[in-house]
Amino acid sequence: MIMKKILLLLVMISFITVAMAQKRKKTEQPLTGYAITSVEKGGRSWKEVRLVNITTGEEIKSIYQSKQETEAFNARTGNPVVKKDMTVTKAPVKKVVNLDQELSTSQGNNVRVRTVVVNGSPIQYDKPFATNSAAMAYDKKHERLYYTPMAINQLRYIDLKSGKIYYFENESFGTVSGFGDGPNQITRMVIASDGNGYALTNDANHLIRFTTGKNPVITDLGALTDDAANGNFSVHSRRGHGGDMVADAAGNLYLLTANRNVYKIVINTKVATHMGTIKGLPEGFTTNAAMVEDGSKVIVASSESAVGYYRFDLTTMQAEKVSTSPTVFNASDLANDRLAFAKKKKDKKNETPEEQKQSIEEVSRKSPAQDILTNNGIAVYPNPVTSGLVKISFADQPNGKYELQLIDITGKMIKSQEITVGSNMHIQEFRLPQSITKGNYLLKVTGAANNVSVTNKLVVQ
């Protein structure tokens, strides 16, 4: 009779566990990032902005399309921008200007690219991405995507709530003089932990800070300085032009050059320290775009290769492919709101008994299965068990001796341990045998005076 009740309880708990797992799976959010891409995969015209799924490499949402007619507004006044043209050349002689080649040339790549014949005609200065862009940063607080066009020293942003685009007119953002000015092109941008945006020129001689509050201020902080230990890996090297930046939770920036080198930048001192070169990327994969995944892991994309998105570790510099599809939208920039080395949620080992009690009560409210398992004020967690260590919480239980019994589904006892509860909020650790195999088990808690008896199901993974 007892075994039938236990089996019935197991069936009920298994049903609830499966239902909860399916619900969690449905609510899990994919890793996403904002990307500046071409219209098609493999293209080299950086005028489209998409929210992409990093795992699948597919578009989730279109943010800006170059074919759309968009009116831009002044970021200070809110008035429509004054439309004007930027003439590429005044000479009557036909001239070939490659809008896409500048990005590639500035990165030091020897690749063949398509050309765009301009023939001295003007380019629309007021068109949001008329000259392409390779620098973008996501400001989550204000729901904005800041960016700067190539060959135009102006800060702009897309308001993600309204879809409108704003320009900081007549306010210098860098010193680029045109398409041929590769060193002064801005191809790196990020929002740091201080809430400010930072942009860096290819030659690393201009680190530009822009605040993101009500009255934004743009400040050129000057040139970066190489750490004495950098040796031949200078942050100013032309071979390292291009790339992107990410930020960490401690207030530092990380520059990823297009040729796979990584530098840590201390903002206050503007000193750049070479951390190493990313390993494990496929041939021809330039590191043009980057965003933080979590911890020390960073996602990178290439403007030259559409074979996939990769993650690498800032501590080991080792990369691995993260996308599952054969092709992705190659990108000149990626952006999200995550910071490297951000603190994780507080470890339960460091919680006070009162905090542990609150955590258990919160889980009980959220989980129907826990409502069954925490009767009599006794709860077992974590469940499923992955580390071999289980904790049993006794809330407002009679003081005295208790016996813990680990039983397999055949009724065989695997381990027994006697404990003493001496407080109203007692947390007891119970380590599973090293030889235990994966599967379903029962953990029975019995009071010495037989006044308390609770049986919980454990899933060992």
- Whether residue 216 has pLDDT greater than 70: yes
Q: Which band of pLDDT confidence, cut at 50, 70 and 90, is reported for residue 126?
A: confident
Amino acid 90: pLDDT: 41
- Amino acid identity of 386? T
Residues 6+ apart with CB under 8 A from 258: 107, 108, 109, 187, 240, 241, 242, 243, 286, 287, 288, 303
Backbone angles phi, psi at 280, to 5 degrees: 90, 5
Instruction: Please state which of the ranges 43-57, 216-230, 394-408 shows the lowest mean pLDDT.
Output: 394-408
DSSP state of 28: P
pLDDT tens profile 278-336: 999 999 999 999 999 999 999 999 999 999 999 999 999 999 999 999 999 999 999 99
- Whether residue 63 has pLDDT greater than 80: yes
DSSP-assigned beta bridge partners for residue 426: 394
Residue 239 and residue 225 in contact, taking contact as beta carbons nearer than 8 Å: no
- Whether residue 375 has pLDDT greater than 70: no
Other C-beta atoms closer than 10 Å to the C-beta of 413 total 11
Instruction: Please state which of the ranges 52-56, 367-371, 424-428, 432-436 shows the lowest mean pLDDT.
Output: 367-371
DSSP-assigned beta bridge partners for residue 274: 263
- Whether residue 348 has pLDDT greater than 50: no
Please state, for a pLDDT cut of 70, what percent of the chain lies above it: 77
Amino acid 75: pLDDT: 97
To the nearest whole number, what is the mean pLDDT of the chain?
83
Amino acid 148: pLDDT: 98
Burial class (CB in 10 A: 0-12, 13-18, 19+), 336: buried
Residue 265 and residue 272 in contact, taking contact as beta carbons nearer than 8 Å: yes
Closest CA to 395 of 361, 369, 348, 442: 361
- Taking the model in full, what pTM does it have? 0.66
Distance CA 164, CA 138 (A): 15
Other C-beta atoms closer than 10 Å to the C-beta of 228 total 8
Q: DSSP of 98-123, one letter per residue?
A: -TTHHHHHHTT--------B-TT-EE
Q: Which band of pLDDT confidence, cut at 50, 70 and 90, is reported for residue 97?
A: very low
Amino acid 386: pLDDT: 86
CATH fold of 32-335, please?
Neuraminidase (2.120.10)
Give residue limits of the domains in the chain. 32-335, 348-460
Amino acid 374: pLDDT: 45
Q: 128-137 in b/e burial notation, b at 16+ Cβ within 10 A?
A: bbbbbbbbbb
Residues 6+ apart with CB under 8 A from 354: 425
- Whether residue 204 has pLDDT greater than 70: yes
Backbone angles phi, psi at 350, to 5 degrees: -95, 5
Amino acid 179: pLDDT: 87
Calculated CA dihedral for residues 42, 46, 50, 56, nearest 10 degrees: 20
- Whether residue 111 has pLDDT greater than 90: no
Q: Which two tokens stand for residue 77?
A: 């006044």
- Whether residue 22 has pLDDT greater than 70: no
Amino acid 86: pLDDT: 54
Q: Which two tokens stand for residue 45?
A: 């015209």
Distance CA 210, CA 223 (A): 16
Distance CA 425, CA 322 (A): 44
Q: Which band of pLDDT confidence, cut at 50, 70 and 90, is reported for residue 50?
A: very high
Distance CA 243, CA 188 (A): 6
CATH fold of 348-460, please?
Immunoglobulin-like (2.60.40)
